[in-house]
Amino acid sequence: MTAVDGISFSIEAGESVAYVGPNGAGKSTTVKLLTGILVPSSGTVSVCGLTPFRDRVTNAKNISVVFGQRTQLWWDIPVVESFRLLGDIYEVGAADFQRSTAELTEVLELGDLLSVPARQLSLGQRMRCDLAAALIHSPRVLYLDEPTIGLDVAVKARFREFIRYLHRERGLTVVLTSHDLGDIEELCPRMMMIDRGRIIYDGALADLNQRFGWEKRVSVTLTAEVADAHLLALQALGSLPVRVEHRTDASFDIWFDSRIAKAGEILRSLPTSLPVADVAIEETGIEAIVRQLYEGQLSFAEPSEDPPSSGADRG
Amino acid sequence: MRIVASASTRTKPVPKYVSIAQTSLQQAIAYRLTTLFTIGLTFIWVFILYYVWKAAYSDQAVIEGFTWDEMRTYVVLAYAINALVGWRIGAQMMATIRSGEVVIELVRPLNYCGTQLARATGFAVVEGILSLIITVIVGLLFLDILRPASPFMAALFILSLMIGFVSKALIVFSVSLLAFWTLNGTGLMWSQQAIVQVLSGTIVPIALLPGWLRLTAEVLPMRGIVSTPLTIYLGQAEGAQIVQLLALQVAWLIVLWIGGNWAWRRAFAAVETQGG
């Protein structure tokens, strides 16, 4: 089975990169290749000048992984003991260990948590301790695998702030795998999107909007049910490049290319026979673009300068 | 008994595998109730076998070269030794493999097999040695077991015991790797326990096994776990025989270590980790 195929990329030291894709796209496999857990059947992998699977142990000292769904703390023993053990496992010198734990304890506010066994921590507390645990040996590369899953808004914000701090203060290279676009927007200027084992996008997150943000949606809600309302609308809009989607008998969505059509034009063209109660116009945000990419509704192969000839026949 | 070194007092780094062993020692202490149950369970078996053999010896003085004194000693010590490596490292390994948590251990600069051995050692210090000490005390006081044949034999017994301990941990390790394929470890664990108990001579001395099974047991590594140390303890082997027994133990130890590490790499390459 081929999990990833023909993937080629390089990340500079000190860069922050998001690595996204739908479930099962091959993200974890890539991370496993980078950590040396998996041996590639062909091709080369190099991290900080090392081949991970050949120098797995040396490579392990350069990197660190934080899994949002798993903890690397020892469940039954106080957090501080996990730190001590990790210090030993990574052979951190006494002075470095002292400095590292002192800094992490202060920045992540772990003072009260150190004596608590990991199993008694809340998810947010655990995540803070897990982050500290991952950083005790001062890695050069940090892999974050779904780090904010299940965290509340406040904790999420603090987490992101901390990662930015690390990036700034320590020049840490961050590779982030996440389904949370907030994480990506706030942490990573660069995004790589992978699907079915291939990279389908590699570039700035902001560029996505320029490239795909032209699709807009008008959501129409009617005061009463009208049979085939969406078809009536489509008929009336006949000349415009739109796609109409039936939601219920009393509501429908009109998708249109904002480079060709204007929302006002569409509203004016709606048949007066439809009892319109409410209209909402939405731009396609990053979230929607990514969702559509996941669902295969958008394709990067399609040149962005070339608007679709007519959207009408797609509805 | 609690070993606590707070981060602020960690002035000297400890070698990593020693540190891992210390941590599992702490875990074993955290689960002292389970540990006590394990020891209690050992005793139930010791008493059952003690009385079964007592009955068997009521009308004969020697069975397959074992006197009642020797058999009594064997039964008591065999169970205590068998408790040195419990199900815990196997159960833990299987659980982490099944949940995919094993990934976390793999991103660390550790030899996985060595890590499991260090863990087994930590547990053994609490579970095994405690149970061994209690058994020996109870055995000497109430069940009147024999003392080691000589101080030199006692020293060789300890050496053989340690080799046997590592061998058993490696066997448990290798069997646990099957969890990569089967995903459910309970059955595996039980059958492994049963097979090891028979072939190591825990249930009955190997000399009492039927012909073909006996020949098999004599060459397999399980023998080194219980039978070999006890043969030395009881002074049933001497000179060249002891050298042979120890050589067989060491040879198997090397094979099991290399085999375990190889199997580990195979297991990991062949099977996708659970949960991505």
A191-226, pLDDT tens digit by residue? 888 877 778 788 887 777 777 767 788 888 888 888
User: What letter does residue B209 receive in the DSSP assignment?
Assistant: S
Contact across the interface for A97 and B268, Cβ inside 8 Å: no
A145 or A289, greater pLDDT: A145
Mean pLDDT of chain A: 81
- State in Å, rounded, how far the first CA of chain A is from the last one: 37
Give the list of residues 6+ apart from residue A102 with CB closer than 8 angstroms, or none. Answer: none
Task: Please state the rounded mean pLDDT for residues A167-186.
Answer: 84
CA distance linking residue A135 with residue A66, whole number of Å: 10
Beta strands in A146-275 (DSSP E): 173-177, 190-195, 198-204, 215-222, 242-248, 251-257
CATH code reported for the domain at A213-294: 3.30.2130.10
* Confidence check: pLDDT of A29 > 80: no
Q: What pLDDT is recorded for position B81?
A: 84
How many pairs of residues across A and B have Cβ atoms under 8 Å apart? 103
User: What letter does residue B143 receive in the DSSP assignment?
Assistant: I
CA distance linking residue A181 with residue B136, whole number of Å: 63
Amino acid at A106: E
pLDDT band at A97 (very low <50, low <70, confident <90, very high): very high
Among the four given CATH numbers 3.40.1000.10, 3.40.50.300, 2.40.128.20, 3.90.226.10, the one describing domain A16-209: 3.40.50.300
pLDDT band at A83 (very low <50, low <70, confident <90, very high): very high
Contact across the interface for B101 and A70, Cβ inside 8 Å: yes
Give the list of residues 6+ apart from residue B131 with CB closer than 8 angstroms, or none. Answer: B38, B39, B42, B80, B83, B84
Residue A74 forms contact with B (CB below 8 Å): yes
Q: What pLDDT is recorded for position B11?
A: 61
Which value, to the nearest 10 degrees, does the dihedral of the CA atoms of residues B238, B239, B242, B246 take? Answer: 170
Residue A32 forms contact with B (CB below 8 Å): yes
Q: What pLDDT is recorded for position A296?
A: 67
Look up the ipTM and state it.
0.76
CA distance linking residue B276 with residue B274, whole number of Å: 6
Range list for CATH 3.40.50.300 in chain A? 16-209
Packing angle of the helix pair B211-219, B186-199 (nearest 10 deg): 100
Q: pLDDT truncated to tens, each residue of chain B (276 aa)? A: 333 444 445 667 788 888 888 888 888 887 778 777 877 877 788 888 888 988 988 888 888 888 998 898 898 888 888 877 767 778 888 887 777 777 888 888 888 888 888 888 888 888 777 777 787 788 888 778 888 888 898 899 999 999 998 998 888 888 888 877 776 667 778 888 888 888 988 888 988 888 899 999 989 999 999 999 999 998 888 889 999 999 999 999 999 999 988 888 887 766 554 444
Structural tokens at position B210? 């039927």
Per CB-CB distance under 8 Å, the chain A contacts of B272 are 3
Per CB-CB distance under 8 Å, the chain B contacts of A114 are 6-7
In the three-class reduction of DSSP (H, G, I as helix; E, B as strand; rest coil), residue B62 is classed as strand
* pTM higher than 0.90: no
Q: What pLDDT is recorded for position B1?
A: 35
Residue A123 forms contact with B (CB below 8 Å): no
pLDDT band at A58 (very low <50, low <70, confident <90, very high): confident
Task: Please state the rounded mean pLDDT for residues A42-55.
Answer: 81
CA distance linking residue B213 with residue B201, whole number of Å: 11
Q: What pLDDT is recorded for position B272?
A: 56
Of B267, B113, B72, B81, nearest to B181 by C-alpha is: B267
Mean pLDDT lowest among A233-247, A298-312, B94-108: A298-312
Range list for CATH 3.30.2130.10 in chain A? 213-294
Pick the residue from chain B with its C-alpha nearest to A89: B16
A293 or B162, greater pLDDT: B162
Task: Please state the rounded mean pLDDT for residues A118-127.
Answer: 89
Tokens 């142990």 belong to which residue?
A57
B40 or A176, greater pLDDT: A176
Pick the residue from chain B with its C-alpha nearest to A99: B8
Pick the residue from chain B with its C-alpha nearest to A134: B108
pLDDT band at A305 (very low <50, low <70, confident <90, very high): very low
pLDDT band at A25 (very low <50, low <70, confident <90, very high): low
Q: What pLDDT is recorded for position B5?
A: 43
Beta strands in B60-203 (DSSP E): 62-63, 66-67
Contact across the interface for A94 and B269, Cβ inside 8 Å: no
